[in-house]
Structure 1
Amino acid sequence: MILQQLINGIMLGSVYALIALGYTMVYGVMKFINFAHGDVYMWGAFFAMFLAHFLGGQFLPVLILTMILTGILGVLVERVAYKPLRRAPRLVVTTSALGMSIVLSNLARLLIGSATYPMPKVLAVHDFKLGPSAVINNIQILVLVTAVVLMVLLNWFVNRSRYGKAIRAASEDQETAGLMGVNMDNVVSVTFFVGSSLGGAAGLLVGMYYDAVYSTMGYAAGLKAFTAAILGGIGSIPGAMFGGLLLGIVENFAGAFLSNYRDGIAFLVMILVLLFRPGGLFNAKIYQKRV
């Protein structure tokens, strides 16, 4: 029983981690929360569903194209809702983010509908026994392996690539990075593209695992991933990864033993972290010193 819940929790947590990375990357550079990110993840699930229909359920091409399309959507969201407000007060930007979230959600209902749609099959489900009481299937393995590979690639991108170094420089000090020749428009666009593409990958994985895609799926997942980002430390990439995994495990055990309080316990964790460790478990520097 415990091993089974741990397996399910790690699988769920890996998806939360992918979505949380989008929140934490944008916050690291722009210092605001992209509340439309959950709806970008929802659109990623729809992109994946349509692509799977056209491509016959081939996983890797669907994954790559979904990430590209969702990344482009994230860049468009930034250009429309955030770029004109870069020098505006944070409250104005937050209001714009909430407005964009509502627009994306209602646009999905208008263009696609409010029904729940099945995801085309990528693999036939096969179960594997792990001991007398635990079972894992090949879909769960694929979800976990894909999430881990994407997180490893992100870690390489941020620490080794040219744009990754520019993103880290901008997260430390945008003004100084700009004086050193870093093009902030490009950095912001790349940040939104990468964060949104990871959200799109999560949309594909969730739709594939639960065999369900619907226009409101971004709301709860977005809140949970935001909680995971806060838990690990908003602005910290390792923190988002760890926070997502931890939240998935906690939520899954809560669902097994206290099913009626599953969502409440997840948010209780966030409240406790904010009360006793506002910087998150990785102690992210969320309070910026004003000079």
Structure 2
Amino acid sequence: MLEQQLINALSLGSVYALFALGFTLVFGVLGVINLSHGAIFMLGSYAALLLVEQMALPLWVALLLAMVATGLLGLIIDVLVLKPLRKRNAPHLIPMIATIGVAIMITNISQGLFGAENKRFPQGTIPEESVSLGNLHITAVQVAIIVIAFVLMVVLLGVMRKTQLGRALRAIAESPKAAYLLGINVEGLFLLTSFAAAALGGAAGVLVGVSFNAISPFMGQPMLHKGIAVIILGGMGDIRGAMIGGLFLGFAEVLTVAYISSDFRDAVAFGLLFLILLVKPSGMFGKVLERKA
């Protein structure tokens, strides 16, 4: 049934978009492709699982605390890894390689702590309520995922476009040195960006963990590949593009599974992405302007 597949696609695409938002935010403001974002996404799931298992917290509280935890991890990565490289004016490739090392380290530590097998939320943690409208079946989890993802996306878009903070971040994205000369606290906003991006990645991790009820140390890598594809499709550093690109990828995957075969899910989705980029190589919302001195 097409309507059912569209609901499934909207739920999956919302998570992809939320993950890509954090990814593209770091690139747009810091000019860094943070390849540890997939590991942060994975830790968001584990943080929520531990909070539910060990402290018996409600799932929504665990989600909020997991966002704080992953946001703090993003701060730590910025302070220990990215900030020293910024001070040395390291080429853009160096931070990217450094974050690969961070991702590998986080994944290996997680595997040692939690094991390689899938973990699941305790029974009764995930709401099982659903609504049926004819042949259309919508679960409470799907509704929650769509609402939470869209609220976070709209809030971020509103902050970036309607507030003084957003204008300052856009100024930094254009030219950090010019922003500094205008009296903007560039380093402070770099840290804020790292926190916000990691928190969004953590939220996406919790939502995926809840949706599939399967958490493993290796779940971040496939999501990282899709996040890279989404931000390239939407336009590097563009928030609108991350949102629409994530939804596009979710719809392409779900409809391929429903009407072709699950074996060709990634082939069709990424094939369509490739065709779009052949027509518009800069992505749906144009190319990122070259950063000025």
Match for 1:236 among 235, 238, 242?
238
Match for 1:214 among 213, 216, 233?
216
User: Is the partner of 1:29 in helix, strand or coil?
Assistant: helix
Match of 2:202 in 1: 200
- CA distance in structure 2 between the partners assigned to 1:35 and 1:200 by the alignment: 14
Cα RMSD of the aligned pairs, angstroms, is 1.7
Match of 1:91 in 2: 93
Match of 2:140 in 1: 138
How far apart are residue 250 of structure 1 and its match? 0.7
Which AA in structure 1 matches 2:172?
A
Match for 2:278 among 272, 275, 284?
275
1:1-291 aligned within 5 A: 1-86=1-86, 87-120=89-122, 121-132=124-135, 134-256=136-258, 257-283=260-286, 285-288=287-290
Percentage identity across aligned positions?
Answer: 38
User: Is the partner of 1:227 in helix, strand or coil?
Assistant: helix
User: Is the partner of 2:180 in helix, strand or coil?
Assistant: helix
Residues 273 and 287 (structure 1), Cα distance of their counterparts in 2 relative to 1, 3 Å cut: farther
User: Is the partner of 1:216 in helix, strand or coil?
Assistant: coil
Q: What are the Cα deviations for residues 193-228 of structure 1, in whole angstroms up to 9, with x where unaligned?
A: 111101111111111111111100001011112211
How far apart are residue 275 of structure 1 and its match? 2.7
How far apart are residue 264 of structure 1 and its match? 2.0
- CA distance in structure 2 between the partners assigned to 1:7 and 1:213 by the alignment: 23
Asked whether the equivalents of residues 173 and 291 of structure 2 are also in contact (C-alpha less than 8 Å), the reply is no
Residues 104 and 59 (structure 1), Cα distance of their counterparts in 2 relative to 1, 3 Å cut: same
Count of residues in Structure 1 that have an aligned counterpart in Structure 2? 289
User: Is the partner of 2:117 in helix, strand or coil?
Assistant: coil
- CA distance in structure 2 between the partners assigned to 1:290 and 1:36 by the alignment: 26
How far apart are residue 34 of structure 1 and its match? 0.7
Asked whether the equivalents of residues 36 and 101 of structure 1 are also in contact (C-alpha less than 8 Å), the reply is yes
How far apart are residue 278 of structure 1 and its match? 2.1
Asked whether the equivalents of residues 81 and 96 of structure 1 are also in contact (C-alpha less than 8 Å), the reply is yes
User: Is the partner of 2:138 in helix, strand or coil?
Assistant: strand
How far apart are residue 287 of structure 1 and its match? 4.9
TM-score under structure 2 normalisation? 0.93
Which AA in structure 1 matches 2:79?
R
Residues 253 and 43 (structure 1), Cα distance of their counterparts in 2 relative to 1, 3 Å cut: same
**Unaligned 5+ runs, structure 1:** none
TM-score under structure 1 normalisation? 0.93
User: Is the partner of 2:118 in helix, strand or coil?
Assistant: coil
How far apart are residue 55 of structure 1 and its match? 4.1
Asked whether the equivalents of residues 55 and 62 of structure 1 are also in contact (C-alpha less than 8 Å), the reply is no
User: Is the partner of 1:168 in helix, strand or coil?
Assistant: helix
